[in-house]
Amino acid sequence: MANFKDLTDQRFGRLVVIKQNGTDKWSNAIWICLCDCGKTVEILARYIKRRGDVKYAKSCGCLRREVKDLMISQRFGRLVVIKQNENDKWGKTSWLCLCDCGKTVGVLPRSLRSGSTKSCGCLRRELNWQDIDKNTDFAFTATQLRGMKLDAVYKEDLKV
């Protein structure tokens, strides 16, 4: 058996390492950890020690469940999270959200947290209509003025 750094009694997130439980078939150390929620889990040392890695184990899985519970009924712009959707064909999780306009839409968690998705699309439509109204009024007024000047010039030419 290879020599491994002893991680016993060290804390990693919500996990406290209890003891080593052998190795896997590639000779990676397996550690038994106790989570703050009371559950024990077996984790490879490389998943415990990598702090900046996505695969870094912070808990037995209870943290993920808590985040899920916190998301439900939370408001992001015009959207209120109703429930977690099943994973799509690429394995990505999305949230079913109810928009203030009454439509439901599935949104990726990162889109909600970053603020890139704030509604079902109704906000964009409203803002586009506001822009069109502003631009149309301005463009119509400019066209109208131009037309009036051309009419005046044309009428002057006819009178002469």
| Per-residue confidence (pLDDT) for residue 59, from 0 to 100 | 85
Q: For the segment 3-21, what is each residue's pLDDT rounded down to a tens digit?
A: 678 888 888 888 899 999 8
* Rounded-to-integer distance, Cα 146 and Cα 154, Å: 12
| Three-state secondary-structure class, residue 61 | coil
Q: Which whole number is the average pLDDT over 41-69?
A: 74
Phi, psi of 75 (to 5 degrees): -100, 135
Within a 10 A sphere around the Cβ of 5, how many other Cβ atoms? 8
| Per-residue confidence (pLDDT) for residue 140, from 0 to 100 | 44
| Per-residue confidence (pLDDT) for residue 78, from 0 to 100 | 92
Query: pTM value?
Result: 0.48
Q: For the segment 78-131, what is each residue's pLDDT rounded down to a tens digit?
A: 999 999 888 777 778 889 999 999 999 999 888 988 889 999 988 888 777 666
